Copies of this chain bind each other. A is one copy, B any other.
Amino acid sequence: MPARKAINLKMLSEALGLSQTTVSRALNGFPEVAEKTRVRVIEAAERLNYRPSPSAASLATGKSRMIGHVVSLSEHIMINPHFADFIAGAGEVYGENGYDILLRLASLEEQEGVYRDLVDDQRVDGVVVHGPLTGDSRIGLLNALGLPFVVHGRSDEEGADYCWMDVNNRRAFHRATKFLLDLGHQRVALVNGLETMNFADRRRQGYEVALEEAGIVPDEQLLHSADMVEPYGYHATRALMDLAEPPTAILVASVLPAMGVTRALADLGLRAGEDVSIIAFDDCLSFLQSGYKGRTPDIPYFTAVRSSIRDAGKRVAQMLLERIENPSGPLQSELWEADFVIGQTTAPPRRR
């Protein structure tokens, strides 16, 4: 294939002896063009390497075929790796549908301004909202701006006026907690994510309800909440194990801090699963996944409640594209249940 220069509509229409109108319509699938000319046009477009200019099309239509992802550099000025996997999933769907990702970094405070600008500039056809807080003001703003969006997660109790896709965090943590209690654990710690985040809030609710159902009063000392990084898990665990009555099991919000938990236990000469049980929420982060060809899958290390964040990215992207096609359609939402997989880090508590 000769690497030819791209041409524009005018050239293509001249080459075909047709008007730009007809060519444009043929290419964009309008009905009022004869089928035989359509194939002729498409063939020629292919052959002559015609590529419609996105900026011209965008100027004319007001659509950009871009999806905005504005991600916040959190406290630790980081993009967390969960985002990388989410975007891997979403990007796949976008690619299949001719959309591109516009990535913008902004602190949470800046985000409203960013959304305003994106709308004013018509830079994106839609956005996905990451890391919704409980009572997140971004949602009201986006509704007011009329920009299609879907939320990864939820913002409030009965999210009625926006599209969302979420994992049933409350139930997942309820199940995990109950599992530990059933094993005989009485002191179960929660190393949670940042509880301003709605998902962390729900997880805590699931945890507390399960305790209460077992007649156990939640103990403040067993609760931690912070950004889900490895050192957080480490420090939280060190603090927990320093307690007069340390926990015999720890529920962790992500495998990232869970690795820190494991490291802390190792430092103390304790073994996860034997001395202290661990259940982590596992987002199936790819860099922790074993994908060796031909090898049988590992027995998972962590006992975990598991839900692929990559799949979530795919689904959210699909929902957003649907919403963009049909902005006035009904508001979709989807709640996924997490899997519960037994790994090597849970066992009945040690005898005291």
- Cβ B79 vs Cβ A289 within 8 A: no
Residues of B within 8 A of A288 (CB): 229-231
Q: Which residues of B contact A51 (CB under 8 A)?
A: 117, 120-121
Chain B binder among A86-94, A149-157, A185-193, A195-203: A86-94
Which A32-73 residues sit within 8 Å CB-CB of chain B? 49, 51, 53-56, 58-59, 64, 66, 69, 73
Residues of B within 8 A of A54 (CB): 55, 121-123
* Chain B residues whose C-beta falls within 8 Å of the C-beta of A231 in the assembled complex: 288-292, 298
A341 close to B (CB within 8 Å): no
A75 in complex: contacting residue of B81, B101, B106, B291, CB < 8 Å: B291
Does A261 belong to the interface (CB within 8 Å)? no
In the complex where A55-B64, A56-B59, A88-B105 touch, is A76 in contact with B289 (Cβ < 8 A)? yes
- In chain A, positions 259-274 with a C-beta closer than 8 Å to chain B are 259, 262-263, 266, 271
Q: How large is the interface on A (under 10, 10 to 19, 20 to 34, 35 or more residues)?
A: 35 or more
How many copies are assembled?
Answer: 2
Majority DSSP secondary structure for residues of A touching B: mixed
Flag whether A15 is at the interface (Cβ < 8 A): no
Asked if A79 and B87 make an inter-chain contact with CB atoms under 8 angstroms apart, the answer reads yes
Q: Is the CB of A289 within 8 A of B78?
A: yes
**In the assembled complex, A336 has its CB within 8 A of some CB on chain B:** no
The answer, yes or no, to whether A84 is at the interface (CB within 8 Å) is yes
A18 adjacent to chain B (CB < 8 Å): no
Contacts of A230 in B (CB 8 A): 287-288
Is there contact, CB below 8 Å, between B100 and A101? no
Instruction: Determine if A95 and B105 form an interchain contact, defined as CB atoms under 8 angstroms apart.
Output: yes
Alpha-carbon distance A95/B69, docked complex (angstroms)? 14
Is A208 part of the binding interface, using a Cβ–Cβ cutoff of 8 Å?
Answer: no
Shortest distance between the CB of A98 and any CB in chain B (Å): 11
A58 to B123, alpha carbons, bound, how many Å? 12
What 8 A-B pairs are tightest by C-beta distance, nearest first?
A78-B286, A231-B290, A55-B58, A6-B120, A81-B81, A101-B103, A91-B105, A76-B291
Q: What are 12 A-B contacts defined by CB distance under 8 Å?
A: A3-B116, A6-B121, A55-B56, A77-B291, A78-B286, A78-B287, A78-B289, A81-B84, A87-B103, A88-B105, A229-B287, A229-B291
